[in-house]
Structure 1
Amino acid sequence: MRRKRTAAVLLLLLMGVFLLINTPFIWKWMYPVKYQPEIKLAAERFNVDPMLVLAVIRTESAFEPRRVSKKGAVGLMQLMPETANWIIKQAKFQGLAMEYLDDPKVNIDIGTWYLSYLLKQFNGDKVLALAAYNAGPGSVNKWLEQEIWDGSRERVEDIPYGETRHYVQKVLYYQEKYQKIYQNDFK
């Protein structure tokens, strides 16, 4: 009798967990969004999918605005100071200074502009743009020219830098998750 009761309680508990796992609340808890207004505005301004921006931020910094990498990349979108300086000049961002790179709005604007730039450079191909965001456009162009990697999502495992290979896979994974969970929240 006691085993049946224990089994029944376990079954009910498992059913409850299964039902909860498919609720929007649980998914939003597992894949949170911070800085939604800033992301939405920058994505619209620079014509980039906001879910892609979210995925880059999640992968780069896990939404920690003051994060600094071992290599010196700064902020939510982990921008290298040299790249950020170049972007500020290229995009003619008025009044932006490097000391504000850890400010979420500034970092999101600069990083989203750069994503837009890379997407244009690689004819809208987000896989190539993401690889370039991580490894630099020069590396990606070299891999394509030397036929090391064909640039396709299906052949991501051919990317010679392990960090870049995993980066592209993670960002694409998170973009799909965010798309499913938040598709109506960014309209």
Structure 2
Amino acid sequence: MRVLLKKRVLLVLLLALITILFLKSDWLAEWMYPVHYKDDIRASAANYGVEPHLVAAIIRSETNYQTGKDSKKGALGLMQIMPDTANWVVQKAGFAEVTEDMLRHRADVSIEVGAWYLKSLDQQFDQNKIAAVAAYNAGPGNVRKWLDSGVWDGTIDTVQQIPFGETRHYVQRVFYYYNKYKDLYPSF
């Protein structure tokens, strides 16, 4: 009887120790919320004055850091840029030629184009990064229409008023990851 009691006590203590390690462990959180391509994200974010945490959150939401992805709607690469949008960015930013294959398979190219586009959206929406993220998903014309007509005020508190369910969930998901990354990687 005593041996069985000792084994149970040891088992409970071991489980408690494992639980504490998992709950208080940064390594577990970093394992669950990794950031790949950190150098490329940092460089592109710095080039255009956008937050690297936000770029990482968009990548996580779009492709979970997997290159070579094409969406059902035709968006390409790590940051899921539509080909027409990519062509517009390349022209406006004065980048060298960017092919669809480069967008699809080269993380550095996708991140550079996506970060530039995010900065452009941020400027279009007067540094309202919530509206910029919504526009990244739904297009700037739709978001401008929602803001101008009073359908949505551009804040995270009223995200439920975004008419497109996909965009509403996208904004929530991006800012969930954004906040996680800011907590986990403060010096990113």
Indicate the RMSD between aligned Cα atoms, in angstroms.
1.4
Structure 2 matches for 1:9-158, cutoff 5 A?
9-102=11-104, 103-158=106-161
Q: Between the two proteins, what is the percent identity of the paired residues? A: 45
Corresponding residue for residue 177 of structure 1? 180
Q: Is the contact between residue 85 and residue 98 of structure 1 (CA under 8 Å) also seen in structure 2?
A: no
Cα distance in 1 for residues equivalent to 2:74 and 2:97: 23
Q: Please list every run of 5 or more consecutive structure 1 residues that lacks an aligned counterpart in the other structure.
A: none
TM-score by structure 1 length?
A: 0.93
Corresponding residue for residue 167 of structure 2? 164
CA apart distance, 1:27:
1.1
Q: Is the contact between residue 73 and residue 81 of structure 1 (CA under 8 Å) also seen in structure 2?
A: yes
| Range moving further from structure 2, 43-52 or 24-33 | 24-33
Q: Please list every run of 5 or more consecutive structure 2 residues that lacks an aligned counterpart in the other structure.
A: none
Question: Which structure has the larger Rg?
Answer: 2
Cα distance in 2 for residues equivalent to 1:47 and 1:171: 18
Q: Which of the two has greater helix per residue?
A: 2
Cα distance in 1 for residues equivalent to 2:16 and 2:139: 46
The one-letter code matched in structure 1 to 2:34 is P
Cα distance in 1 for residues equivalent to 2:5 and 2:131: 56
The one-letter code matched in structure 2 to 1:81 is P
Moved over 6 A (4+): none
Cα distance in 1 for residues equivalent to 2:147 and 2:132: 13
SS at the partner of 2:168? Answer: helix
| Range moving further from structure 2, 42-51 or 144-153 | 144-153
The one-letter code matched in structure 1 to 2:176 is Y
TM-score by structure 2 length?
A: 0.93
